[in-house]
Amino acid sequence: MLLLISNANCQMTGFAVATVGWILTITSMGLVEWRLWYMDNTSIFPSSLVCVGLWKVCIYHRVGDYSGATFCYQYGYRDTYLPLDIRISQNLQLVASVLGLLGRASVIFALRNVYVGILQKSATFNPFVASGILNLASGICISIAVVWNHHSVMNGEGIIFLPSVSLPLKPSTQEIGSALLVACLAAFMMVLSGLLFLSYTSLSIECTPTIRMHAYLNFFHL
């Protein structure tokens, strides 16, 4: 009985971790601070901070102690001037968000079945295992995007923006931004939730569905 309750705790923890990880995935997509470009003050390019995201770039000019966004440009799939790492990261993040959403739907379906006592172990389909696989795949997609962008920043790779953006090929210096750290945390939490759900197969013991149902009902009433 204690093992069954421990298993339920594991799955509820996995659901909570997956939810937070999915929210962080969506958040990292919208953040613009994937790369930080620092521009030296020259006659052509004034002193400024450029934040390069997956979907837009923003330029923050420094005037004394004040820094404000004076220009933001959005881009998408049709902008072929973007480097391969950004274009693939756009797709990877979108795929990761969809996989994470499907993983959450699968575990909600599984927990609902557990609560009403109709969940049975199946050799062909188990919604907890399906959710684990989906979350793992989501975490892997995010990890690839993070590692690739980090590699581009460390190698000082540039971006050929449109002339209307008025940015050079490469900045004076560049570093990773906070969005990359958020994506790292999202990847970790999605992988962790996937492992927690996949552990269902090793933690479950052979018993009748009725016994399993009572164990879960006892857990939910704690």
DSSP 105-165: HHHHHHHHHHHHT-----SS--HHHHHHHHHHHHHHHHHHHHHHHHHHHHTT------GGG
Instruction: Return d(Cα 222, Cα 213) in angstroms, integer.
Output: 14
What does the pLDDT read at residue 183?
96
What does the pLDDT read at residue 181?
94
What DSSP designation does 5 have? H
Domain extents for the chain?
2-31+75-158+178-220
Task: Provide the CATH topology of domain 2-31+75-158+178-220.
Answer: Butyryl-CoA Dehydrogenase, subunit A; domain 3 (1.20.140)
Instruction: Return d(Cα 12, Cα 97) in angstroms, integer.
Output: 20
For the cut 50, the answer to whether the pLDDT of residue 59 exceeds it is yes
For the cut 90, the answer to whether the pLDDT of residue 23 exceeds it is yes
What does the pLDDT read at residue 213?
44
What DSSP designation does 43 have? S
Q: Are 113 and 139 in contact (CB under 8 A)?
A: no
Residue 44 burial by Cβ neighbours in a 10 Å radius (0-12, 13-18, 19+): exposed
Q: What is the three-class DSSP state of 93?
A: helix
Closest by CA to 159, choosing from 59, 82, 53, is 82
Q: Are 21 and 193 in contact (CB under 8 A)?
A: yes
Does this model's pTM top 0.85? My answer is: no
Instruction: Return d(Cα 72, Cα 82) in angstroms, integer.
Output: 16
Return the minimum-mean-pLDDT range out of 9-13, 168-172, 173-177, 186-190: 9-13
Q: Give the containing element (helix H, strand E) for 176.
A: strand 173-176
Instruction: Return d(Cα 15, Cα 222) in angstroms, integer.
Output: 18
